[in-house]
Amino acid sequence: EAGVVQSPRYKIIEKKQPVAFWCNPISGHNTLYWYLQNLGQGPELLIRYENEEAVDDSQLPKDRFSAERLKGVDSTLKIQPAELGDSAVYLCASSLEPWGKHNEQFFGPGTRLTVL
Amino acid sequence: AQSVAQPEDQVNVAEGNPLTVKCTYSVSGNPYLFWYVQYPNRGLQFLLKYITGDNLVKGSYGFEAEFNKSQTSFHLKKPSALVSDSALYFCAVRDFRNDMRFGAGTRLTVKP
């Protein structure tokens, strides 16, 4: 069974440029998460999707960050414009059952973003 | 809101010795507790979870964790450490109403 796929694995951009990350969850997983992981820290949730609906985006900085999961399968996270402080690893995860259940999340390898 | 603390940034053990990685939590209601491991340049991998039942939970790669409600702890343990266990370990907690909250992580180094 394929795991969570993320691309690109690494991205280097200059500040004020746009950037997008893509995630394809495990087949059949209807819950998808985007996390931000700063160096030396644990992941912090940015947004959670149940199918195509964003059910928790309270931690997403909406002035520059946006996300979509149009068909309830793969998802894209965008930053426009990027700032120096956005340098981090962006992790995507998926799980089998909706929020409120206690199933574990499966993580992708992440995209390491460097903003110069 | 729930929270989780990993009091040790770094744990060093010798190969073959037992290891413990500590985790304490704060949550309203019954906790759901998880341990994940992260190897360099890779995403988090699930090790084990506590939902209900026996306080001692067994997981992948010989790891286990003990849930202690009175001390609000969920320490990760392994009877005999391997060099290949060297990685970053994250404890996480969620209650029924909230998403997963991760600790800051503990770097485990197992020396030959």
Please give the biggest Cα pair distance in chain A: 40
Task: Give the integer Cα–Cα distance in Å for B92 and B49.
Answer: 9
Residues B48, B77: contact at Cβ < 8 Å?
no
Residue ranges of domains in chain A, CATH in brackets: 5-99 (2.60.40.10)
| Closest-CA residue to A33 (of A87, A85, A79, A98) | A98
pLDDT tops 70 at residue B88: yes
pLDDT tops 60 at residue A100: no
Percent of chain A beyond pLDDT 90? 71
Per-residue pLDDT of B32-44, as tens digits, reads 999 999 998 788 9
Residue ranges of domains in chain B, CATH in brackets: 3-111 (2.60.40.10)
Written as six digits, the tokens of A14 are: 């200059």
Written as six digits, the tokens of A80 are: 């426009």
Distance from CA of B57 to the nearest CA of A (A): 14
Chain A's closest residue to B48, CA to CA, is A104
Identify the residue among B57, B100, B106 best suited for mutation to test binding to A, counting A beta carbons within 10 A and taking the highest.
Answer: B100
Task: Give the integer Cα–Cα distance in Å for A95 and A21.
Answer: 19
**Residues in chain A closer than 8 A to B7 (CB atoms):** none
Distance from CA of B12 to the nearest CA of A (A): 17
Q: What Cα–Cα distance (Å) separates residue B11 from each residue in B22, B85, B86?
A: 10, 12, 10
pLDDT tops 90 at residue B2: no
Q: In which band, very low, low, confident or very high, does the pLDDT at A101 lie, cut at 50, 70 and 90?
A: low
pLDDT of residue B16: 97
pLDDT of residue A99: 54
Task: Give the integer Cα–Cα distance in Å for B35 and B93.
Answer: 9
Main-chain dihedrals φ then ψ at residue B85, nearest 5 degrees: -80, -10
β strands within A31-86, DSSP E = 31-37, 44-50, 53-56, 65-68, 75-79
Site of tokens 């160096």: A39
Per-residue pLDDT of A64-88, as tens digits, reads 999 999 888 999 999 999 999 999 9
Chain A's closest residue to B50, CA to CA, is A102
Instruction: Establish if B107 touches chain A: CB-CB under 8 angstroms.
Output: no
